[in-house]
Amino acid sequence: MKIYIVAHKDFSNPVDEKIYCPIQVGADINKTINNSWIKDNTGDNISSKNLSYNELTALYWIWKNSEEDIVGLCHYRRFFVTRIGKIKNLLFGVKKNFINEEFVKKIISKNFVVVHNKTYFKQGNRQQFLDTQKYPNDIDILGEVIASKYPEYADAYKMVMNGTSCHLLNMIIAKKEIIDDYCEWLFDVLFAVEEKLIDMGEKSFERRMGMLGERMLDIWLIANDIQVKEVYSINTERIDWKNW
């Protein structure tokens, strides 16, 4: 089992569990941060696309190169925590109680996929994307590609777009074979979206595929009837508590 900590810069790792492993993203275009870390430009990789795919270049690396039976992804500043860990963080600013191997195996044994808690949007998922993204039309192009390449996913796409919540951040933990299935679909769609945008004359791709990837997780989960376990997270670079 390995939970890969995605990082594009040096950070103070708050977790001492052996299952956690830092991976440098964008290693193909940035200088080396730490020689002991895994680099996303080794093996079969898309490291050079990191400015567009963000943490998904790490997910691609995990898909193509990791041999662990259970794999996951978190961020250098966003970590999954237990319920008590979330409460302690909110009330006292404590940064402890990160999920461990026993916690993960208990969930995975029930065939659940670990995901980040839902984020809710009053205006709806599609409208929130349109309101906040530099390239809002990308969400509709995504729908067109899914309808063309994977028509069996079209209803799930509509359901997610018409909904008011989704699991963001591209944070996930699951059996490797489940991650493999997800990634095969995810990157096939994203590469097709990217190709379509290039054909349309687009030249700037910063963060575009990564942002679409966030919305695609729920589409895949719904279309494949995957059971999920929502787990809290904390941001280790943010203060969420106040002196009561």
Q: 242 or 224: whose pLDDT is higher?
A: 224
Strand, helix or coil for residue 128: helix
Question: What pLDDT does 241 receive?
Answer: 66
Residue 207, token pair as written in the block:
């963060």
Q: Smallest Cα–Cα separation from 168: which of 221, 122, 217? A: 217
CA–CA dist 141, 129 (Å, integer): 13
Query: Which residue blocks in the chain are alpha helix, DSSP H?
Result: 50-53, 56-65, 83-92, 101-108, 125-132, 138-149, 154-162, 176-199, 208-223
What are the structural domains, with CATH classification, of the chain? 2-235 (3.90.550)
Strand, helix or coil for residue 14: coil
Please give the average per-residue pLDDT across 72-76, as a whole number: 98
Q: For residue 238, name the pLDDT band (cuts at 50, 70, 90).
A: confident
pLDDT above 90: percentage of residues in the chain: 94
Residue 234, token pair as written in the block:
């904390």
Q: Smallest Cα–Cα separation from 165: which of 126, 107, 202, 125? A: 125
pLDDT tens-digit readout, 29-59? 999 999 999 999 999 999 999 999 999 999 9
DSSP string of 26-54? STTTS--S-TTSEETTSSS--GGGHHHHT
DSSP string of 93-121? -----B--HHHHHHHHTTT-EEEEPPEE-
* Residues whose CB is less than 8 angstroms from the CB of residue 81 and which lie 6 or more positions away in sequence, other chains included: 89, 96, 97, 98, 99, 231, 232, 233, 234
pLDDT at 244 over 60: no
Please give the average per-residue pLDDT across 223-231, as a whole number: 97
Please give the average per-residue pLDDT across 53-75, as a whole number: 98
Question: What pLDDT does 243 receive?
Answer: 58
* Residues whose CB is less than 8 angstroms from the CB of residue 1 and which lie 6 or more positions away in sequence, other chains included: 19, 68, 69, 70, 71, 101, 104, 105
In one-letter notation, the amino acid at residue 152 is E
